[in-house]
Amino acid sequence: MFLEQFPIEGRANGWIEVICGSMFSGKTEELIRRIRRAEFANQALLLFKPKIDNRFSEKNIVSHKGSTFEAVIIDQAKDILSHWENQKIVAIDEAQFFDDSIIEVCNQLANKGVRVIIAGLDMDYQGKAFGPMPQLMAIAEYITKVHAICVSCGNLAHYSQRTVQQTEQVLVGAIEKYRPLCRTCYQQR
């Protein structure tokens, strides 16, 4: 479980939190949990998602469990800065779909005292680092790696096996295209 040990309340320090893991590991659910707590505390926040992620909703982030939260839909990471109006928290879902400019955007916000919360896949279906996620983890003050359950053996899973024949790196989908596997089962596929 993630232990939230953040800087002393009221200080001007910002920071970056990354929530990462495989498909079906609860990344979006954890992101929503954190922003709901901030919302309850009346902290001004903005939530963003990339336009490409339209699996469950055009305007909300939606977890596989069904939790939702309204988001600002953007094409590029730099669009975050044009929407930001000194909100204390900026949250970003599916960060792996953005280009590397998201790294600078997150750094700029954190340097201005913003709590930046990012969720995304750390690896693609081939088990390779996905987009800007490795660099975002490198600059983050806090990293939470969540795991799914392997649908083959029941162990902790951190691989996303693609179950369709398409080979492009970015293929938006859910249970109809992916399944979570542990290391052993992923290697045996």
Domain boundaries along the sequence of the chain: 15-146
Which pLDDT score is estimated for 163? 75
| Single-letter residue type at 83 | H
Which pLDDT score is estimated for 53? 67
Give, in order, the Cα–Cα distances in Å from 5 to each of 2, 38, 141: 9, 15, 10
Return d(Cα 151, Cα 125) in angstroms, integer. Answer: 15
Q: Which CATH number does 15-146 carry?
A: 3.40.50.300
From 88, 95, 94, 93, select the one nearest 109 (Cα to Cα).
88
Give, in order, the Cα–Cα distances in Å from 60 to each of 80, 83, 114: 16, 16, 22
pLDDT lower than 70: segments of the chain: 1-12, 53-58, 60-67, 169-176
Which pLDDT score is estimated for 52? 77
- Contact, 145 vs 43, CB < 8 A? no
Give, in order, the Cα–Cα distances in Å from 98 to each of 75, 132, 165: 8, 7, 24
Which pLDDT score is estimated for 174? 60
Dihedral of alpha carbons 84, 132, 65, 73, sign: positive
Structure tokens belonging to residue 87: 């909100």
Which pLDDT score is estimated for 4? 55
pTM: 0.86
Which pLDDT score is estimated for 57? 55
- Report, as residue numbers or ranges, the catalytic residues: 94
